[in-house]
Structures are given as C-alpha cells and as structure tokens.
Amino acid sequence: MSEKLQKVLARAGHGSRREMEAWIAAGRVSVEGEIATLGDRIEADAKVRIDGRPVSLKSAEDVICRVLAYHKPEGEICSRKDPEGRPTVFDRLPRTKDSRWVAVGRLDINTSGLLLFTSDGELANRLMHPSREVEREYAVRTFGEVTDAKVQQLRTGVTLEDGPAQFDAIKSAGGEGINQWWHVVLCEGRNREVRRLWEAVEVQVSRLIRVRYGMIELPKTLPRGGWMELPLDQVNYLRHIAGLDAEERSLLGMDKHSVARAKVRSAKVRRAVRKHKTPGTASNGRKAPTRTRS
C-alpha cells in the first residue's frame, strides 16, 4: 500500500514530518528521478533521493523505535549545524545507520536539562503537537522579589505577545534572599515561555533546567553532555501518549552481547563528556543548588 512521502521519510528517521514537508516543498526530494511535491504517495520499493543522494526507506515493520535521554548543557543550540560554529546538541549523540536522531522539541541556548531524541520522526512529530499537552517540568532560579500576588498571577494567567499563558503548577523549592528556586509545569512548548512568563511579572530567570518530560525524568546519574537509551517500557509510554502502537523490539537487553554493548556505550558517553566539557563547568548530576549568591 502506498503512503505519504513525508510520513515514510519521517518514520525512517530522516527528520520530523514537518521537516520533511519543508524539504519536499523546497524541491530537495525526488522520487524515481522526478522532483516530489507535497501530497505524493509512494510504494515501499520507490527510489527516493534527498539533495541528490539516495536514502534508505523502511517499512513500519523494519523500524525499531529508539529514544535517547540527553542532558543538555547550557551553551549548546538545538540545530544540526550552526553558521557561527557553536556546539549543537547533535554533536555528542551516537551514530545511527540509515537514519537520523530527531529532537523532541527544543531548549534554548541558555537552558539545560532533559532533551529527548528519537529515531522515529513520526513519534517526534506527534509528541511536539500542541494537542498532546505533554507536561514539561522545569527547575527555575529567579532573581528578584517574588510576592504571593505574583505567584497567583502566574497561576491564573498573564498576557504575552503571542496570547495568554500560565503555569499549570508552580511551587517554591527554597533559596536565599532574592535568589529563589521554583519548580514549574507547562503543558505546551512555546518559544522561551517559562522565561517570558516570569518576565511578565518583572522577575528575572537566572537559571533554567528542564527536569521532566511527561513521566520521563532527567536521570540523576546522567552527566551534563551525556545520553542514555530509554528502555522499552519508557519508549512505549511515549508511543502511547502519542497515539502510536507499542514497540515490541529494543536494542537494549540482558543477554551478554547487549551488556557488552551497554558498557561500550557508557564508555562513549564518558569520553564524549570529557571531550566537550567546558573548562570550569561541572559535569555531574542535575540537582539544582539550594544556596546561591548573586
């Protein structure tokens, strides 16, 4: 049975469905030697090229859905390449054969914490859709006086330039003086929304860390710049909230070959962290300090 071209490319991990639609519209994709157009459907044996290079297509049965949890440090951007030469979140990820890692959402350059990547572009596309309303929890360090009235305002809603917004949950997490820590929850992912909400009540955010996406928490043992592959139950939790069928296979396992591969992956993570570690930057843990000085 034929399927939409952008869906097949996304499933094979060449990017999110939205990215593939943009590539098709830009004339970067050809099918059987002809420039593709949005709405094209293809058969499983079609010959497809992106920017003139042949690409691998996979049926739904051939694709193993993989998900990585990555501990993004501050200073990395969420683009694959940067004209200014800044480090990107893709630099340290493991290589995959005939596919690419697709980021589930974005974190801005000054935000650290949990960022998910998947080999299944359709999963990424669905999780990023606003209709899914997946909870994102952040640890926030604020600078400035936060009154009860301001907290209540953030709960009930403020007006931003792109419409009304509010925190779905907000609670104090300690601090000292005008430097305070908070945990806040949002169910949408508008650009810089956490920072803009605090700025709307005249409070500055001095540090921002994403600690949870849905029920997936940032692993406490995962160093900044490190990644780990999620087990099958967590992959299927994400597939469930995205409205996709459960995955039955995983590259993780308890046989001796899987254990050996896990040790190799762990060593690669440690090497990647050491290689990219910024001088003077800590690389262990995610727990936010509770005592700070301005």
Check if the beta carbon of residue 231 is closer than 8 Å to that of residue 158.
no
**Which domains does the chain possess?**
3-54 (3.10.290.10), 67-130+216-276 (3.30.2350.10), 135-213 (3.30.2350.10)
- pLDDT: is 17 or 138 the higher one? 138
Residue 232, Ramachandran bin (φ over 0: left; ψ between -120 and 50: alpha; else beta): alpha
Percent of the chain past pLDDT 70, that is, above it, reads 84
Structure tokens at 271: 């090497």
Residue-wise pLDDT for 199-257, tens only, equals 999 999 999 999 999 999 999 999 999 999 999 999 999 999 999 999 988 888 643 34
Cα 204 → chain centroid: 24
* Separation of alpha carbons 167 and 151, rounded Å: 10
Check if the beta carbon of residue 42 is closer than 8 Å to that of residue 3.
yes
Active site residue 245: no
Check if the beta carbon of residue 138 is closer than 8 Å to that of residue 112.
no
User: In the prediction, which pLDDT does 23 show?
Assistant: 94
For residue 120, pLDDT beyond 50? yes
Q: Which of 108, 162, 168, 233 is catalytic?
A: 108
Q: How many residues does the chain have?
A: 294
pTM: predicted TM-score of the whole model, two decimal places: 0.75
Q: Which has the closest alpha carbon to 220: 37, 7, 78, 69?
A: 69
Residue-wise pLDDT for 164-210, tens only, equals 999 999 999 988 878 999 999 999 878 899 999 999 999 999 999 99
H helices of 137-244, in order, are 148-156, 193-200, 232-241
Tell me the pLDDT band of 131, cut-offs 50, 70 and 90.
confident
Structure tokens at 250: 């995983």
What secondary structure letter does DSSP report for 130? Answer: G
* Separation of alpha carbons 86 and 287, rounded Å: 26
CA dihedral sign, ordered 241, 262, 248, 57: positive
User: In the prediction, which pLDDT does 1 show?
Assistant: 61
